[in-house]
Structure 1
Amino acid sequence: EKAMASFDKISPKNRDIYRLKRLSEEINKKKFLKTKNPTVAGLLAVIPGAGHLYCERYQDAVIAFLLNGAMICAACEAFDDGSEFLGGLITFFELGLYSGNIYSAVSSAHKYNRRKKRTFLQKLKEHSKVEVSAGKMPDRNLALLYKITF
């Protein structure tokens, strides 16, 4: 919205120079960017691996499902055999693995969204003659670079 408002301030003769029509079309595609909801990923991760599956991390989903399943089975077997201490120890480690699975699923959703945004911005840069970047300067804390190619 801010970009579009700024585009309106550019004179009609300069709009073609900066490819504003195409740039506006590309910016409008952001509305259709598919992202993953971290809350949904975390809730789905209650079933080990489901949160990773939602985030399209298929290997992580399989590993989370198999490891959590194996640990739960091992704890059940230990309790069935009367080894309460061993069952409790396995359960303790399984809780860490299980909560890590949920945390990882939420983190995967954030990573997925960052990757989508980065790809979107990269495509936007490829379709424009205008480049904006930020960085540190030796004599200043922060610098903003605005480059226009003619």
Structure 2
Amino acid sequence: MKNKVRELYIKGYSAREIAEKLQKSEGSIKMFINRNFKDFKKVHEEQKKIREGLKKLNKFEFIKAKYIEGYNAKEIATILDESHGHIRNYISQNLKKYSFEHRKARDLNKNIKKVVRSMNNSFMSDASLLKQNRQSFKYDKNYNIEFDEETRSARPDDVPKKFYRRNSIM
């Protein structure tokens, strides 16, 4: 166990990560590290910085790949559970040269969704879909009918998210 802890500590893993990997308590791992590996503290800090840098690099590569695939900043932020502004700033500062590929992929994705939607509507209209699948929809606060993602999980791309009322009652 001593060798495993030393190996992971030198690689830059925190005491919590080591404890999770070895299924030991975090407190005992911290105490073990403080008693036995004081000499490796500088190496540990350097490797920790390198690991954090690689995580950031992987995240930025992911942002770049998704941006080129046609995702916008808000969609990427949702995937990464990050701030929309942070992603938007990164894109505007670092990925301007990929804007042509981004717009091209975005238009292609938009056209694909449009074709799929029109193809599906040629077989069944939105009104017929609503009549056949009423259990999948609920009313919102304005009495519009919207897809119930809480009980029905993910909404398919070809199913409308919301049906708006035509006549409003005042």
Give yes or no for TM over 0.5: no
Q: Kindly indicate whether structure 1 or structure 2 has the higher relative contact order, using CA contacts under 8 Å at least 6 residues apart.
A: 1
TM-score w.r.t. structure 2 length? 0.26
Task: Give the TM-score, by structure 1 length.
Answer: 0.29
